[in-house]
Structure 1
Amino acid sequence: MLNPFATESVTFETPVAMLIACHDRVRQYASLTESLAVHLQQNGADAAAVAGAQSILRYFDIAAPLHHQDEDDDLFPALLRKATPQLASVIADITAEHDELGALWQQVRAALLAVIAGDAKALDAQLAQQFAMRYPAHAAREENEIYPFAAQLLDDACLAQLGKTMSARRQAA
């Protein structure tokens, strides 16, 4: 089972690298959701399906909200203080996507809870596929359209403070 807080060699001293490492786990768990839908069709809500559903729930209920807070409460406001109108527009779009993804997650979450309760038909393949595609696409947008500006616009002291805040947020969780 994946550890939602495992970071290999990435530390909070490099907050943008930490956010990208979180995206790697988002991709893994989003992909697992689609794999789980296939597994359920073939094997029903067996022990492996329940364990998979539980691990996805753990990640997206605990780690993913912390990641969104890192961006919405810390990184994005820091960037917006120095952003061009174009970057500010991209950040607004991405922030809106967080709300859309949160609503999508609630649908997937309800299905996963039903799987854990034994309902092998609860996780619709189309919903799982949509989830498995939208979250990684969102992460890629952030990595390509926002994160590069952190190195350009934020000084070392600001980045260090972001890392400290991210770390403290997880210790509190």
Structure 2
Amino acid sequence: MRNPFASDAVGFDTPIAMLIACHDRVRHYAGLLPKLAGHVAIHGADAEAARAALAILRYFDVAVPLHHQDEDDDVFPLLRERGDAALRARVDEIAAEHDALGLQWQTLRPALQALAVGLAATLDAGVVQAFAQDYPAHAAREERELYPHATRLIGADEMAGIGRTMAARRTHKD
């Protein structure tokens, strides 16, 4: 999904736009995984593979857990509280995907960690493809099925508070 809020000016004062911008980066880094696997199959654990593996690791180890916390702690509870039964069920289902995606990520991490320091490793093609498809699909679901409700059910003052919490969360993690 094209980010309708895409701009260099997206910040924590627009939390939903910030979450979508994170999804854009999820799509980017998830999309790098199959490219990295192909590169490693031909060139091995060279410097380019190490740089790519390190970038992917940083994103999914640092930014993604914060993003999930933004959703799980700040946005999803308000959707559950204010939504109807169908929306609550959808929130629960989509939130549960965070754990499944986390397990997929943990399967990929050891090979990426090895590659990041220049050690030979093989990225399992099936696991890479699943992750590269599942994560963007999850992001698209959130954008399609949850975020429109967030913009409707969460008031401007609450959104501003969510944005401040998101920013503070990152300040404490740096």
**Cα distance in 2 for residues equivalent to 1:54 and 1:166:** 24
Query: 1:132 is aligned with what amino acid?
Result: A
Match status 1:128 vs 2:141:
no
Aligned residues: 167
1:41–1:120 CA contact under 8 A, matched in 2: no
2:79–2:149 CA contact under 8 A, matched in 1: yes
Question: What's 1:67 paired with?
Answer: 67
Identity %: 54
Normalising to structure 2: TM-score of the pair? 0.92
Question: What's 2:102 paired with?
Answer: 102
Encode CA deviations 1:36-75: one digit per residue, 9 max, x unaligned. Answer: 0010111111000011000000001100000000000100
Deviation (angstroms), 1:124 = 1.4
Runs (4 or more) in structure 1 with deviation over 6 Å come to none
**Cα distance in 2 for residues equivalent to 1:93 and 1:151:** 20
Question: What's 1:166 paired with?
Answer: 166
Q: How does 1:72-87 map to 2 (within 5 A)?
A: 72-87=72-87
**Cα distance in 2 for residues equivalent to 1:101 and 1:30:** 12
**Cα distance in 1 for residues equivalent to 2:75 and 2:54:** 30
Secondary structure in 1 matching 2:123 = coil
Secondary structure in 2 matching 1:146 = helix
Match status 1:18 vs 2:18:
yes
Encode CA deviations 1:54-109: one digit per residue, 9 max, x unaligned. Answer: 00000011000000000001000111110110010011001110000000000111
Normalising to structure 1: TM-score of the pair? 0.93
Query: 1:15 is aligned with what amino acid?
Result: P
Report the aligned-residue RMSD.
Answer: 1.2
Deviation (angstroms), 1:119 = 4.4
**Cα distance in 2 for residues equivalent to 1:54 and 1:143:** 27
